[in-house]
Structure 1
Amino acid sequence: MTVLFVNACLRGEESHTLKLCREYLEGREDVKEVNLAELKLEPYYAGPVAFRAQLEANNRFDDPLFDLAKDFAEADEIVIGAPYWDLSFPAALKIYVEHVCAMGITFHYTEQGACEGLCKAGRLTYITTCGGRVEGMNFGYEYFCGIAKMFGIPETRFVAAENLDVVGNDNEASMAAARQQIAKLRAEG
C-alpha cells in the first residue's frame, strides 16, 4: 500500500500540522511526500492550460507535466497536511490540485457526461491545525471532500487541533486531543 503525503505545511518543521502528520505517518515505510514549499508550483495560465488540454486530448500522458497527477491517482491513501489559513488552506495547495486534476488520469467524463473518478485511493485523510475553531467553516476539508468524490475516493477523514492562537488556551491539550483522533484513525487502519 502506498501513501501519498501532500505536505502543505509551509512553515516547515515549526508547523503544528506537520507534527501531527508525522505522527499519523509514523512507522509507515510506503510514504511518498510531496513538499509544496519545495516544489513552488506555478498556477496554470492560458498557454500551459491549452498545452495540457492538447496532451490530454491525445492521451499523451508521458509528459512530466502529469507526474504529480499519476502519483495522486496511483496512491492507495492520500494524506493532506494543511494549516487552516483564511477559512481553508494555503494557496500552494490549490495550485497543487490544479496540477493533479488531469482528465484521463485522476478523472474522466463518461459518454453520458458524468464525471467519474479514476483514483485508486480508498481514503483521503485531511490533517490541520488552526488558531481558532473551524466549526461551521471547514471549507478546506469540505473542498477536499468534493475533490475526493470527483476523483473516486470513497472515504474522507478529518483531524484538527484547534484554538492554538487563543489566549489562555492549553495548546498541549489541543494537540493531545488531535493525537487521540490520530491514534483512533491509525487503529481503524
Structure 2
Amino acid sequence: MKLLHIIASPRIEKSNTLRVSAAFLDELDATVPDLEVETLDLFAESLPGLAGANIDAKYSLMAGAPVDPTHADSWERIEHTIERFLAADAYLISTPLWNLGTPYALKYYIDCIVQPGYLFRYNEQGYPVPLVHDRKMVVVTSSGSDYSPGSPLQALNFQEPYLRAIFGFVGITDITFVHGHAMDASPTHRADGIASAIDEARVVASSEAWRDGDVEVA
C-alpha cells in the first residue's frame, strides 16, 4: 500500500496535529505489510500557479477543448501534482482547523488537483462524474476550541464538511476524521485532547479494513 501523507501544518515538530498523525503512522506501519509512505509538506512544497497559462488551460478543459500547445509546459506541473496524488492507494491529511476552515495551503493544493478530466469529468448532461475510486482517507485535525458533536461550536466547523464534500466530489467517500479538540483551552485540555486523539488514531490504523489491506485502486 502506498500512502500519501499530506501535511498542512507549518509547525512541524511543534504541531499537535502531527503528533497524532505520527501515532497513526506508527500503528499503520505495524498493521499493514509493505506500507510505503510519501510525505507532501504543503508549506515547503512549491505548488504550480493557478493563474495565467494554467487558468486558461483549466477553462479550455472545462469547455471540452484541448490545452493550447503554448500552455502545455506550464500545465505539466499541474499534471505532475495530480499524478502524484493519484499514484497513492490511500491518504493521510494532517491539518489544523484555521479560522473555522482549512489552512490556505491545503485549499490551494485542492484547487491544483481537482481538475476536469483528471479527478472528475462532465457527463452529457453537464453533471460532474467522479473519477477517483477505491481509496481510503484519514484526516487528522486539531483545533484550539472544542468543535466536537454536541458542543456549542460544532456548527462552526466548516473544515470537515468541506473536505468530505470536495473529496467525495471526486469519488473518495471512505473518509475517517480524527479530531484533537480544545488544544488552546489549557495545558490540561491540550494533553487530554492529544491523548484522546492518539488513542483514536491508533484504533483507526489497526482496524480490520486497514489490516486486511482492503484498498484497491481502480
TM-score by length of 1: 0.88
Identity within the alignment, %? 24
Matched, 1:114 2:127: yes
Name the structure 2 match of 1:153: 172
Partner of 1:3: 3
- Corresponding residue to 1:70 among 83, 103, 117: 83
Aligned counterpart, 1:139: 158
Residue number in structure 2 paired with 1:45:
51
1:30 equivalent to 2:43? Answer no
SS at 1:169's partner residue?
A: helix
Are the counterparts in 2 of residues 76 and 122 from structure 1 also a CA contact under 8 Å? yes
In structure 1, C-alpha distance between the alignment counterparts of 2:90 and 2:176, rounded to whole Å: 11
Q: Write the deviation string for residues 146-180 of structure 1: whole angstroms up to 9, x where unpaired.
A: 11211111211111111111036332221111011
Select which of 98, 103, 120 maps to 2:116: 103
TM-score (norm. length: structure 2) = 0.78
Question: For residue 17 of structure 2, what is the aligned residue in structure 1?
Answer: 17
- Kindly indicate whether structure 1 or structure 2 has the higher relative contact order, using CA contacts under 8 Å at least 6 residues apart: 2
Q: Secondary structure at the match of 1:165?
A: coil
User: Structure 2: how far apart are the matches of 1:172 and 1:146?
Assistant: 31
Asked whether the equivalents of residues 178 and 200 of structure 2 are also in contact (C-alpha less than 8 Å), the reply is: yes
How many angstroms apart in 1 are the aligned matches of 2:162 and 2:85? 16
Partner SS state of residue 44, structure 2? helix
Task: Confirm or deny: 8 A CA contact 2:164 2:173 kept in the other structure.
Answer: no
Q: Deviation per CA, 1:29-64, whole angstroms, max 9, x where unpaired?
A: 411111111114365235430034446732779823
Inter-partner Cα distance in structure 2 for 1:4 and 1:168: 31
> 3-state SS of the aligned residue for 1:94?
helix
The counterpart of 1:170, out of the listed 177, 181, 189, is 189
1:124 maps to which of 137, 159, 163: 137
1:106 and 1:182 mapped to 2: Cα distance? 28
Question: In structure 2, what residue type is equivalent to 1:67?
Answer: H
Q: Residues 66 and 102 of structure 1 are in contact (CA less than 8 Å); yes or no, is this contact kept in structure 2?
A: no
Deviates more, 1:159-168 or 1:7-16: 159-168
Gaps of 5+ in 2: 148-153, 211-218
The alignment covers a number of residue pairs equal to 189
Q: CA deviation at 1:6?
A: 0.9
Q: CA RMSD in A?
A: 2.3
Q: 1: CA distance between counterparts of 2:131 and 2:53?
A: 26
